[in-house]
Amino acid sequence: MSIGLLALFAFIPILVALVLMAGLRWPSTRAMPLALLAALALAATVWGQAPLRLAALCIEGAVTAFGVLIIVFGALLIYYTLEYSGGMETIQAGMKRISPDRRLQAIIIGFMFAAFIEGAAGFGTPAALAAPLLLGLGFPPLCAAVICLAFNSVPVTFGAVGTPVLQGLKAVESFGVAALGLSDPSMFYKIVGEYATLMHLPMAYILPIFMLGFMTRFFGKNKSWAEGFRAWKYCLMASTCFVVPYLILAWTVGPELPSMVGGLLGLGVLVYLTRKGFCIPRDEVWQFAPTAEWDHDWSGEIKASDATDFTDHMSQTRAWMPYVLCGLILVLTRVPAFGLKPLINTYGVVGVSNVLGQEGVGASLALLNLPGTIPFILVSIITIGLHAMSPAKVSGAWTTAFKKMKAPTIALISAVALVSVFKGSGVNADGLPSMPMAMAQFVANLTGNAWPYFASYAGGLGAFITGSCTVSDMLFGNFQWDVANALNFSPLGHYVILAAQAVGGAMGNMICIHNIVAVCAVLGMIGHEGTILRRTVIPFILYSIPVGLVAGYLIASGI
């Protein structure tokens, strides 16, 4: 069977999901089970997968989905704990004093705070924390989702203390070390990271400006791009606060710290400069229209606050302490130098192996390593005492969080089972490539020597399907290296292609169904996934253009 026909068959489940959610506006609770059925039918008929193996792959996906659901529940729990304790209203009051301008709040929370959380934890955690915070500040839920998904791109390549590069490209390490004759394998990851920063750099400055224009155009009462663009000086200042430590650390240390330290230092410097009035738009304080004037599809089960005056129920330090603790615990447990990472990866591990007797099919969860457990649920419990919550308020927060879990459970189990079927389809008697690999090979054959301009799309495809930049790199790392070999690129040219893969996996975070369903669950927006996907695909396409141009230029210049 030709690779083109295989790619067409492989694309059908994705097409089903896109048509149902983005075209017909079906909720993911209905669309994803049908997409899963389509994948199962194709895996059985075209890829020759036995029913027992397909059942095992679905169980594998369900176990993995349970880990994602813990993250969603933990994020919901923190939000409602702060809501019931009065901490959220106190944060609202404090943010209004820093700046009541929604454009600046979007940058501070959606871009900079989320970048730090991505650098420390990754795996969908930034949107799960930042989006509810924007919601609490009065952002339309749909706007909060789009903003946080789009901004969770620049730092993702170096997210979770460098995991997408360090673990995602582990299978290619030996090739990279041999190609350049490196004595230290860590240099392989460092060089890939250096090229990745060059590809991210243009959008690190363009994306904040574009997204503020996007926000004021689609969610502002005047439907004006210009209102967002007028904050361009502030965006450039914010980007510089992040980019300077981001670049320095990537080029001098390696992939572990650029996003985490860039986000942390950038956040501190940006808040200080904002308080001092640097680069703040002087012509207006931009606000959303009253909630009564919002389009009906901007909100879901959780309504944004329409209040303009907020009361301090406690000190700002106490109100923000849950988020401070989240960041601190994430750093202590994820950075290897502190020695806690092996402990949380060793204890509390549950899972299944060789499911239903199928060799290689299985999944494990390090429960203590899940951000939903440590720190989200842990910090929520600590906050009970920290904010002196009454038993009634604690009960209200936990009960509400549990009630919000029904819809995302259906959607996420279907979506992650679909991922398992996609990846598992590569094990077959006919030696056919897996479904994602078939699509990637077809595009590579189609583009030929122009591949550098399109290599990031393979990374984006991997993230779209799997919901993870790390898994995307694992899925397509060897493939990207083989394409560079076939096109006779230089050794450093191979590194450029791997960097494009890693950047593509990052920008794919904007559109991956996995992340969209998760953020919808946190914001009470289940049923609006297609609307969000139609919005986030615009910055995704924009992001891919400079990435392709930089990769193409580096290859053409003889790298």
Read off the pLDDT of residues 484-501 as tens digits, 9 standing for 90 and up.
988 999 999 999 999 999
Please list, in sequence order, all residues whose beta carbon lies within 8 angstroms of the beta carbon of residue 515, skipping any fewer than 6 positions away.
Answer: 124, 127, 149, 152, 467, 509
**In 319-414, beta strands by DSSP E:** 349-352, 363-366
- Are the beta carbons of 44 and 55 closer than 8 angstroms? no
- pTM (predicted TM-score): 0.80
pLDDT band at 287 (very low <50, low <70, confident <90, very high): very high
Calculate what percentage of the chain has a pLDDT beyond 70: 97
- The predicted-structure confidence for 418-461, as pLDDT tens digits, reads as follows 888 988 898 888 889 988 889 888 988 899 999 999 999 999 98
Calculate what percentage of the chain has a pLDDT beyond 90: 47
Nearest to 196 by CA among 252, 158, 241: 158
In a domain, 309, yes or no: no
In a domain, 307, yes or no: no
In a domain, 306, yes or no: no
pLDDT band at 168 (very low <50, low <70, confident <90, very high): confident
- Are the beta carbons of 228 and 200 closer than 8 angstroms? no
- Are the beta carbons of 490 and 558 closer than 8 angstroms? yes
| pLDDT for res 309 | 66
Domain of residue 406, residue span: 3-298+315-556
Lowest mean pLDDT among 122-136, 262-276, 350-364, 515-529: 122-136
- Are the beta carbons of 247 and 197 closer than 8 angstroms? yes
Residue 171 has pLDDT above 80, yes or no: no
- The tokens describing 293, both together, are 């004037």
Residue 558 has pLDDT above 80, yes or no: no
Q: How many CB atoms lie within 10 A of CB 344?
A: 19
Residue 366 has pLDDT above 70, yes or no: yes
Mean pLDDT value across residues 408-415: 80
- The tokens describing 261, both together, are 């330290």
Mean pLDDT value across residues 199-215: 98
| pLDDT for res 306 | 58
Nearest to 106 by CA among 75, 157, 143: 143
| pLDDT for res 396 | 94
In a domain, 305, yes or no: no
Nearest to 536 by CA among 78, 108, 110: 110
Mean pLDDT value across residues 387-396: 95
Lowest mean pLDDT among 44-48, 189-193, 361-365, 385-389: 361-365
In a domain, 422, yes or no: yes
DSSP letters, 401-427, are: HHHTTHHHHHHHHHHHHHHHHHHHTT-
What b/e readout covers 204-227, taking b as 16+ CB neighbours within 10 angstroms? bbbbbbbbbbbbbbbbbeeeebeb
Residue 362 has, within 13 A of its CA and on its CB side, a CA count of: 13
What 8-state DSSP symbol labels residue 262? H
Structural domain count of the chain = 1
- The tokens describing 42, both together, are 């194709």
DSSP letters, 42-76, are: HHHHTS---HHHHHHHHHHHHHHHHHHHHHHHHHH
**Residue 461 to residue 477: CA distance in whole angstroms:** 13
| pLDDT for res 55 | 94
- The predicted-structure confidence for 499-537, as pLDDT tens digits, reads as follows 999 999 999 989 988 788 888 888 888 888 889 999 999
**Residue 454 to residue 541: CA distance in whole angstroms:** 11
In a domain, 119, yes or no: yes
Mean pLDDT value across residues 164-189: 88
In a domain, 261, yes or no: yes
pLDDT band at 121 (very low <50, low <70, confident <90, very high): low
In a domain, 437, yes or no: yes
Mean pLDDT value across residues 469-482: 85
Please list, in sequence order, all residues whose beta carbon lies within 8 angstroms of the beta carbon of residue 42, skipping any fewer than 6 positions away.
Answer: 9, 10, 12, 13, 435
Residue 90 has pLDDT above 60, yes or no: yes
Residue 258 has pLDDT above 60, yes or no: yes
Radius of gyration of the chain (CA): 22
| pLDDT for res 308 | 56
DSSP letters, 474-508, are: HHHHHHHHHHHHHTT--HHHHHHHHHHHHHHHHHG
**Residue 207 to residue 223: CA distance in whole angstroms:** 19
